[in-house]
Structure 1
């Protein structure tokens, strides 16, 4: 494929992966990924302090988290496509600047409504950062090292997720809730400087193609995803008429979006691409695996505290093991993917996640905390391998002018899985525990809920394995049809 250039290519774009410029560019992308993950996890620990500071109810204070989550979820595909059209470097710099400025505004906000608005703006910046970091990998590393780069990005994402609660708690204890948001501002400035100095310049087609942005499809997709995310998150775990109405609205939105995209001259998402068995299976398995991994965050605290009787400090340490394993596994997983291939390691990662989930479903509480941590470590390591391999398989061969939107779709599938997991797996746990208030459930009931939840999780991973095997079989038949 010929390069899509609109003039001389600057020196930054000509740098090879082994040069210092390329290494600093990858560092900037990694920091961007860390910040977007940190923004998701660091605010949760501050909700009690924020409720006291603003004298607000939980229903009001939860919008500090929801505003960020909704902005990321609803815009991540659209900003990826916009980066393909107007230039990924330009848009990433704007996203980093917005994230940094919004972090300062969050930390200085004098009223709750302003803090929620600033968190929404921070989420818009994070959506740009999440969507475009993976899209840049194809421009700064060779194809044979894509896995290593994806592993590094996965590692920094896991570090951001793991660091959020502990760092947020420490900052609140030492400096107050405002420090939770202000701490990301200087890091955002560093990421912005690295991106400005070292990312390759945008190489675009002439202006006619740049203007063709699917506004109708973008609006429909944003409204549909917002309806679904709200249906899965509002109500503190209960599912009432409002949740049902939002879910029905999301279903109607999907239909309207498909019809709009089928007629669009330059669609946001090419529906024909979703018929590709490999891409469709990758997106579906990503959502399924993320659903399962969210179960560890939903169920884990209750199991450790209620069934095993651990103190709050020990529970916090135990819950940090999963993200720590993911952080330590990411880079080695990338190297393994480069050596043995993304296809083979996707299956290996899914197998590890399934094995860990199955162990959590069958091991008795009498094994104590070790009976929880070993399976969690296995499942999380499998997840890290799967995510690196899956992202590599999808992004390695995507056309340069579609990298942004495909990266956005991958991140969206993961986010939708996390949102769904928080609601659905939490409901499975509550139902299996046979109690209305899980916080007051008997240890045996919580242990039963744990086993049932992870039996369901293991079944979901088996479905993901079947989807992966089926897509490969279909791809082989399509590529090499046999005469009848």
Structure 2
């Protein structure tokens, strides 16, 4: 039966189901992204409420991020084994209930524990949302769906601080967690009602879950993430992470049903896509580190103006997501991946070369180019990776893609922050003068441009390999 012979009413019902399924997936991407940033603005208030020091309340944020980073790959693999829709529904319930526990927490450490539980739900949601696009959305619209999910991620991260400030000011700190209750209920209903039911092999034919690999990978990732955030212990923690990574690879090459099939990383599209994601996320982290200091200390903007200027980048990514996805669907992911990276390289190069005499425009315009390129790269790269994945591996590959982005952001903040400090010739960046900050900004974005050029080289090599094998 051709598409033209399908009754219009049936086609409309199918389109309507796809639309509502995609809305549910958007909420599943929005909620974890929102909670990654909404708690930051509440840290001063929570320090007063619980009579705690700033390092103590920082664990409200760290607990959430560490659990996501350490468990996201395991959540993706478990979804492949027990059903992605089924596990996503469990993740939404865990996230929503943990949000309620956060709002009701009577002590700081109970709040931190509830945030860790919230991170568990978020890990499941982030691991499986992209994986379910292949089952809920027609292949011809995959790029648009990936672009929309990218916009939701950027929108949640951007909205978090401003929404959190409004909610705390009018309704108190518990409201920043209670806002997840109506969102969670809507997300659960949409996922339950409109996502396709899992089509699983009989339980006796499914491989066993790799619990040893899960534990070892989680400990390795926790050690790495802590080494990037706790500068006083980063040497031993990095050494522990390196040993854990080596042991994980050794074990995974020997077990019958590994958490990650190491052979799949020999495929150029996947390994290249993950490497590019890591590099690109590192560059995005550079804008988070450098931007506030450059705008405040080198250009002399007031705090409110700094916040407004910094919002331009994420808002550009939000607006560019869906158009970027349309371009991917029309022209294909390989060429759009390269064009997105070229836009990012040009944006970084302009930021490295423009003198500060151009003022705010000299920062805003290249940042808009950089983030628009990022939106195009993300839609294209995600589409390219997920389109070539076997159905029984979508969860773990989607999770690995999210993990590479998280690791890029975590390491980027630490490494590029150190580069910025060294280039500014100071150990205390907050005390550096305007000229030192301007020099540090130029040098750091020059290195960021080099990282994007490396990503372009990886994209070219991946394209050449694919042509030679096809």
Is the TM-score greater than 0.5? yes
Distance change (3 Å), C-alpha of 1:17 and 1:212: farther
User: 1:4 aligns to what?
Assistant: none
Shift of 1:51: 1.2
User: 2:4 aligns to what?
Assistant: none
1:439, 1:101 → 2: CA distance? Answer: 40
The DSSP-based 3-state class of the residue aligned with 2:165 is: helix
The DSSP-based 3-state class of the residue aligned with 1:138 is: helix
The question of whether the paired residues in 1 share the 8 Å contact of 2:213 and 2:259 is answered with: yes
The question of whether the paired residues in 2 share the 8 Å contact of 1:16 and 1:141 is answered with: no
User: 1:200 aligns to what?
Assistant: 196
Alignment of 1:228 with 2:200, yes or no, is no
Shift of 1:209: 3.6
User: 2:25 aligns to what?
Assistant: 29
Q: 1:139-182 CA distances to partner (integer Å, 9 max, x unpaired)? A: 11121211011011111111101101111111122222221111
Aligned residue among 43, 46, 52 for 2:42: 46
User: 1:190 aligns to what?
Assistant: 186
The DSSP-based 3-state class of the residue aligned with 2:253 is: helix
2:145, 2:42 → 1: CA distance? Answer: 32
Alignment of 1:247 with 2:243, yes or no, is no
User: 1:407 aligns to what?
Assistant: 398
1:371, 1:67 → 2: CA distance? Answer: 37
1:245, 1:383 → 2: CA distance? Answer: 34
Q: 1:231-265 CA distances to partner (integer Å, 9 max, x unpaired)? A: 0012xxxx33x211110000001110001110111
Q: How does 1:191-340 map to 2 (within 5 A)?
A: 191-210=187-206, 212-234=208-230, 239-240=231-232, 242-340=233-331
1:46, 1:268 → 2: CA distance? Answer: 37
The question of whether the paired residues in 2 share the 8 Å contact of 1:358 and 1:455 is answered with: yes
The DSSP-based 3-state class of the residue aligned with 1:213 is: coil
Runs of 4+ residues over 6 Å off in structure 1? 14-17
User: 1:388 aligns to what?
Assistant: 379
1:57, 1:223 → 2: CA distance? Answer: 27
1:448, 1:311 → 2: CA distance? Answer: 21
Aligned residue among 125, 128, 132 for 2:124: 128
User: 1:154 aligns to what?
Assistant: 150
Alignment of 1:138 with 2:129, yes or no, is no
User: 2:388 aligns to what?
Assistant: 397
Shift of 1:17: 8.5
1:31, 1:110 → 2: CA distance? Answer: 29
The DSSP-based 3-state class of the residue aligned with 1:263 is: coil
- Please say which of residues 29-38 and 202-211 is displaced more in the overlay: 202-211
User: 2:440 aligns to what?
Assistant: 449
Shift of 1:107: 1.1
Shift of 1:18: 4.0
The question of whether the paired residues in 2 share the 8 Å contact of 1:15 and 1:22 is answered with: no
The DSSP-based 3-state class of the residue aligned with 1:56 is: coil
1:425, 1:62 → 2: CA distance? Answer: 21
Shift of 1:437: 1.6
Q: TM-score w.r.t. structure 1 length?
A: 0.93
Gaps of 5+ in 2: 1-9
1:407, 1:16 → 2: CA distance? Answer: 29
2:267, 2:12 → 1: CA distance? Answer: 32
Distance change (3 Å), C-alpha of 1:16 and 1:389: farther
User: 2:159 aligns to what?
Assistant: 163
User: 1:86 aligns to what?
Assistant: 82
2:277, 2:323 → 1: CA distance? Answer: 20
Shift of 1:211: 5.4
Shift of 1:396: 0.9
Aligned residue among 338, 346, 364 for 1:373: 364
1:112, 1:17 → 2: CA distance? Answer: 48
Q: 1:414-434 CA distances to partner (integer Å, 9 max, x unpaired)? A: 000000111011111111111
Q: 1:276-300 CA distances to partner (integer Å, 9 max, x unpaired)? A: 1111010000010000001111111
2:247, 2:68 → 1: CA distance? Answer: 22
User: 2:414 aligns to what?
Assistant: 423
Shift of 1:19: 2.8
The DSSP-based 3-state class of the residue aligned with 2:259 is: coil
Q: TM-score w.r.t. structure 2 length?
A: 0.96
Shift of 1:22: 1.9
C-alpha RMSD over aligned residues: 1.3
Q: How does 1:62-73 map to 2 (within 5 A)?
A: 62-73=58-69
Distance change (3 Å), C-alpha of 1:18 and 1:357: farther
Gaps of 5+ in 1: 1-13
1:432, 1:342 → 2: CA distance? Answer: 36
